[in-house]
Amino acid sequence: MQNKKGQGLSTSTIVLLILGLIILVILIWGFVTGWSGFKSLVSPSNVDDVIRDCSSYCSISSVYSYCSGERTLRANEDKVEVKSTCAVFSSISNFEKYRIPDCPTISCELTCEDIVIDGKRGAKTTSTGNVRYDVSFLASNLAPDERCVIN
């Protein structure tokens, strides 16, 4: 009979301890530095998808999908996440970097209040102050001295 002083840890127990330690380190790192580092892994940039979708809607003349169908544009390298329509993305200078194609065959005929960016609707104004988005050229119901803006 051999002397056994104690039972060793099984391999599965060691693997579970290592996994638990890794998860603990990830949680601590996430709470200390913020979760933005993981966001690019979970929701990657989708600029190419938006370009493809908008081009498709234009080619099949899908007016609703191009003018009113909302989609989210994500560009992680620029830390941009904006929800709007192909018509807005292709027309506003803030987004020209992403080269969303304009559609000359579709006329959107949107009122100022129909234009939405990140859940905020367009508002008519006569001021030329500091605005985040000037969408006047998309709005069809403006008086000559009015502008349509979204702040």
> Model confidence over 114-126: pLDDT tens digits?
889 988 888 888 8
Q: Would you say the C-alpha torsion 64, 92, 83, 79 has a positive or negative sign?
A: positive
- The residues near 41 (Cβ < 8 Å, ≥ 6 apart) are none
Full-prediction pTM beyond 0.85? no
When pLDDT is cut at 50, 70 and 90, the band that residue 5 belongs to is: low
Report pLDDT digits (tens) over 11-69: 888 999 999 999 999 888 888 877 666 665 666 778 888 899 999 999 999 999 998 89
The fraction of the chain above a pLDDT of 90, given in percent, is: 24
Strand partners, 84: 71
- pLDDT score of 1 more than 60: no
By the 8 A CB rule, do 106 and 61 touch? Answer: yes
Sheet with 147-150: list strands edge to edge: 123-125, 147-150, 133-134
By the 8 A CB rule, do 70 and 88 touch? Answer: no
- The residues near 20 (Cβ < 8 Å, ≥ 6 apart) are none
Closest CA to 91 of 81, 102, 80: 102
